[in-house]
Amino acid sequence: MISKNDDAPGRLRPVRSFVRREGRITRGQERALAELWPIYGIASDVAPIDLPRLFGREAPTIMELGFGDGETLIQLAAAEPHCNFLGVEVYRPGVGRLLRRVRELGLLNVRVFRDDAVDVLTHRIATESLTKLLIFFPDPWPKKRHHKRRLIQPGFARLVTERLIVGGTLHVATDWEDYAMDIMDVLSRVEGLRNQAGDKCFVQRPSYRPATKFECRGQALGHRVWDLLFAREK
C-alpha cells in the first residue's frame, strides 16, 4: 500500500495501517522479550520462511495479524496443539505479554513476528502456505481522510489470497460498522475469494474465536460485532 508523499511531490512512501506508539511496558514483559524472543521470535528478513523447519513439523498453519495482548492467539494455540500458529504484532508490550503466556503454558506451536503485517506477508510468507488468516478488530481509522490507512485494501486482499492454500480461509472481525461494510466490499471483489456466508452476508461468531474482554464490554452496551469469513477457491 503506497501513496504519494505530499511533502515531496513525485516520491512514494508506504502508508502504514498503524502508528508506532506504545503504552507502558512492564519489567516482566521486558524480561520476556530479552529471554524468550530468541526462542519464539522470528528475525526480520526478506526471504520466505521454511515453516516445517521453523516448527519442526508439517502442520496446518494459522496466522493472526495484530494480536494485541495475545490472549486470543494463546487460547487458539492451546486449544489446537495440532496446528502451528504465527502471530504478528508491532507493539512490544503485547509481544512481551504473549511470550510470557507461551512460556507459562508450555506452548510449542507458537512463533512471533514483531513487524509490519504487510511486510511479513509480502516477504516472509510463501504463496499457498497458510491454512487460515485471522484479523480481529483492526484499527478502523474512522476519519474519512484516514481511510487510506485501513489495513484491508484491494492490494492487501489480493496478497492475502495468494498466501492462503486452496480452501484456506480469511476471518475478519470488527466492531465498526462502516469498516465492516468496506471490508465486505473489498473482499467481495477479489477473484478467487468466496464469502462462506453468501453474497454480502456476515457470519455468526465462529466458536473457535474467543470473545475478547473489550468485545464483551461492548456487547453489554449493545454494540455489535461483524464477522466475515472468506475462503480461497482457486
Host domain of residue 75: 45-232
Residues noted as catalytic: 139
- How do 84-88 and 61-65 pair as beta strands? parallel
99 domain residue, yes or no: yes
In a domain, 36, yes or no: no
Classify residue 4: in a domain, yes or no.
no
Mean predicted confidence (pLDDT) in 56-81: 97
Amino acid 223: pLDDT: 80
Q: What is the mean pLDDT of residues 208-232?
A: 86
> 130 Cβ partners below 8 Å, 6+ apart?
61, 62, 63, 163, 164, 165, 168
Q: How many structural domains does the chain have?
A: 1
How many angstroms separate the Cα of 48 from the Cα of each of 124, 126, 132, 233? 4, 6, 17, 23
Residue 179 lies in a domain: yes
Through-space distance between the first and last CA atoms of the chain, rounded to whole angstroms: 24
Average pLDDT (137-151) is 92
Query: 195, 187 in Cβ contact below 8 A?
Result: yes
Q: How far is CA 42 from CA 57, 81, 88, 220, 221, in A?
A: 17, 20, 10, 38, 39
Q: Is the pLDDT of residue 8 over 90?
A: no
Kindly state whether residue 27 falls inside one of the protein's structural domains: no
The confidence score (pLDDT) of residue 127 equals 97
User: 83-100 pLDDT, tens per residue?
Assistant: 999 999 999 999 999 999
Tell me how far apart the alpha carbons of residues 210 and 199 are, in angstroms, rounded to a whole number: 25
Q: Is residue 194 part of a domain?
A: yes
pLDDT of residue 215: 81
Assess if residue 38 is contained within a domain: no
Q: Answer yes or no: is pLDDT of 220 > 90.
A: no
17: confidence class by pLDDT, cuts 50, 70, 90: low
- pLDDT for res 217: 77
The rounded mean pLDDT for the chain is 90
Q: Is residue 211 part of a domain?
A: yes
What CATH number is attached to the domain comprising 93?
Answer: 3.40.50.150
Percent of the chain with pLDDT over 90: 79
**pLDDT for 186-215, tens place per residue?**
999 999 999 999 999 999 999 999 987 778
pLDDT tier for residue 6 given thresholds of 50, 70 and 90: very low
pTM of the model: 0.88
* The predicted structure's pLDDT at residue 22: 57
Range from 6-15, 68-77, 93-102 carrying the lowest mean pLDDT = 6-15
In sequence order, the 6+-apart residues with CB closer than 8 A to the CB of 141 are 17, 147, 149, 150
